[in-house]
Every structure is written in structure tokens, then in C-alpha cells.
Amino acid sequence: MNTVETSAESISGTATTIGTTATEDSRTEVLRDGTRVLVRPIHAQDVELERRFIEALSPSSRRYRFLDTMRSPSEALLRQLTRINPSTDAAYVAVVVEGAQEREIGVARFSAQADGGDCEFAVTVGDAWQNKGLGTLLMHRLIELARARGIQAMHSTDAADNDLMRHFAGHLHLHHVRDPDDATQVVYSVELGVHEADGADLPMLR
């Protein structure tokens, strides 16, 4: 079972970066429909933000995210999702500002092995925000950071019937194999060790 959430978005294009703040690796991005989105690291104070995001997902998106059916996350799970070990893990949330409050519309994270050679990744986008380029944008951020940390490969284990993840992985040219230990799951992966000048190893990074 995936130790982090699985993807729930299919997309066919990329978003455009329109600016970068000078603090904590936060960036303002613009989606294909023109919506401005802030992508920033998740904080321990984001428990309620994350809770509302998970509860707003459709039942199928929650199942694909956690390989489990749940209506509301436990306090223990919320602590796990918002308290990040900076030596091995990373997580970004995509938020839009509504009045004086932020609303989470997507999240991406990875958790690296102890040797730092491989990490498990996950990208989840709120149902109403799918097909706008947000999933690709968040995946770009994860790959950018993973490469900066010297991580050589990324993988995600997802339900075999998750058609949205299958299309997402196909768009990003991820490798995929049936999980040898569980026929109901598929393992998607990408190698980061090769840095081709033209980005041929990762078309999504062009």
C-alpha cells in the first residue's frame, strides 16, 4: 500500500510559472484557465486546511488517494501529512485565496528512502480542479526538488483500476509495471539520474 496519497488527476498540458516569491520556496502559478494558485510547502499548522481538502474529495478520489475508503482523516493521519521530516520528505500544497482564507486545491509529496536513492511520490488534485494542468505543475515541483537532493528515482503504487492515474502517468511518460506482490496495484516510476540536455528522458520537463 502506498504510504502517501495516490494521484487523482488526468491532465493533458502544463501550467505556466508566472512568479516566484523569495521565501520558503513558495511560488505563484497560473493554471490553463487563468487561475492564480500559490504553491508552497505544507506546514504543521495546515491540519485544518488538509482536513477540509480531504473531506471535500469525492469518495473515489479519497479511495485512490489512500487506497482506503474514509470520510474524514484521523488526527494521527493529519499529523503525519502535515509534519514533514525535512531530511527525507517534502510536501507542497496548492492553494487559492478566498477572502482572508486559503483553500487547498491540490497537494504533492514524496518520502525518500534512508539512502536517498529513491522516493515514493504522490499527487492529488481536488475534483473540481482536475484537467487544468495543476497535477503536472505539482509533479514538476517534486521532480525539481528530488533532483536537487540527488534522488535518483521516484515511484508510486496505485490501484490498477485508477484510470485517472494511468492517463496522468501516460502523459508524463512514466514507466509502469504490475505490482508483483499485489495484482490489484500498479507501480509507476521515473528515473532521474540521467540529465539529458534536451530533456528527452523526461518529456514533461521541456
pLDDT tens sequence for the chain (206 residues): 343 343 443 322 333 333 333 345 899 999 999 999 999 999 999 999 999 999 999 999 998 888 777 889 999 999 999 999 999 999 999 999 988 899 999 999 999 988 889 999 999 999 999 999 999 999 999 999 999 999 999 999 999 999 989 999 999 999 999 999 999 999 999 999 754 433 434 433 32
pLDDT score at 64: 86
Residue 125 forms part of a structural domain: yes
What domain range is 179 assigned to? 16-200
Cell of 14: 502544463
Quick one: pLDDT at residue 70? 81
Residue for grid cell 495543476: 134
pLDDT of residue 18: 32
Instruction: Return phi, psi of residue 61, to 5°.
Output: -65, -40
The Cα 201–Cα 190 span in angstroms is: 9
Residue 164 lies in a domain: yes
Quote the DSSP letter at residue 43: -
Does residue 95 lie within any of the structural domains?
A: yes
pLDDT at 68: 76
Residue 21 has which C-alpha cell? Answer: 516569491
pLDDT value at residue 194: 52
The pTM score is: 0.81
CA distance 84 to 102: 20
Torsion-angle region of 98 (φ positive above 0: left; ψ -120 to 50: alpha; else: beta) = beta
pLDDT at 24: 57
Q: What is the pLDDT of residue 61?
A: 92
Domain tally, the chain: 1
Give the pLDDT confidence score for residue 25 in this predicted structure: 85
Q: Measured between alpha carbons, how far is 16 from 47 in angstroms, rounded to an integer?
A: 28
Residue 92 resides in a domain:
yes
Quote the pLDDT of residue 105: 97
Residue 141: give its domain's CATH number: 3.40.630.30
Residue 11 maps to a domain: no
Selection from 9, 18, 13 nearest residue 32 by Cα: 13
